[in-house]
Amino acid sequence: VYLKIVCIFFVVNFCNNYAIKCDVYFPLFIIFKSGSLLANIIFGFTLRGHVYTPREIFSVFIVTGGIVIFTLASYERKPSTSASDVEFFGIPPFFIGVALLTVALMLSAYLGVCQEDMYKVHGKHAKESMFMVHTLSIPGFLLLGGEITDAFHAANNTEQLNLFGYDLIIPVAWANIFGICILQYICINNVYRLTALTTSLNVTMVISLRKFISLFVSFSVFGNPFNIFHFCGAFFVFVGSLMFSKVL
């Protein structure tokens, strides 16, 4: 039951993580992720015959456009300090990264359709689905054992965590990783619960809005100037969200 979903899940995560090594700057990564709304509509219509209202389609375009505008307005290109070692038949790393992001975008949209089908046939078991998908995908990540080992040693070599003036034996990196794992569990657990309750398009919309809020909060925390393009992007996301939820 879970074999196809696990395989797609692994490939999506692999492509997204590997694309970052291919000179793909982070705003482009966010833009591709926001494109999952449009991809979800395309797959839902072509593969399952889902019919979407003009309001839903228009609101998806507005939200996607708002995220793209806000992301581009927040980006300042900085010279790369290290050259990418990713090369395939002489193709520039940037284009390899874009290809990987495109594959991840299409597969992530298809993954939502597969999860919908699974819930219809076998019932809505969100906790079981989350456990099985993440547990069964672990062997696949053993293929990246070398990189995981290097990251493990790098985390061990970070400075000790200082808490209230006391140096603990826990490295800072591991404390951050532990905190990220807790937050990720809360987030993913609620995403799977939401997947069992509503359509994949609604889930994708919620996830896209969560990513925009994260981008907006991080932008504000670092005290970056808020210009007219940021305002337009945030306005589009806000209006598109209200239209999608039928408030407007």
Predicted confidence (pLDDT) per residue in 26-62, tens digit? 767 777 777 788 888 888 888 877 888 888 889 888 8
pTM reported for the whole predicted model: 0.75
Instruction: Report whether pLDDT(63) > 50.
Output: yes
Instruction: Report whether pLDDT(64) > 70.
Output: yes
pLDDT (0 to 100) of residue 31: 74
Q: Are 221 and 61 in contact (CB under 8 A)?
A: no
Please, which residues bridge with residue 163 across strands? 166
Which pLDDT tens digit goes with each residue over 199-234? 888 888 888 888 778 777 777 777 667 778 878 888
Q: Are 191 and 204 in contact (CB under 8 A)?
A: no
Average pLDDT over residues 120-140: 88
Instruction: Report whether pLDDT(181) > 90.
Output: yes
pLDDT (0 to 100) of residue 29: 77
Name the DSSP class of 88: B
Instruction: Report whether pLDDT(12) > 60.
Output: yes
pLDDT (0 to 100) of residue 185: 92
Judge residue 54's burial from the number of C-beta atoms within 10 Å of its C-beta, 0-12 exposed, 13-18 middle, 19 or more buried: exposed
The radius of gyration computed from the CA coordinates of the chain, to the nearest angstrom, equals 20
Name the DSSP class of 197: T
More confident residue, 83 or 168: 168
Instruction: Report whether pLDDT(182) > 90.
Output: yes
pLDDT (0 to 100) of residue 5: 92
Contacts of 60 (CB under 8 A, 6+ apart): 37, 38, 41, 201, 205, 240, 244
Which pLDDT tens digit goes with each residue over 65-124? 887 887 777 665 555 544 455 556 667 777 888 888 889 988 988 888 888 888 888 888
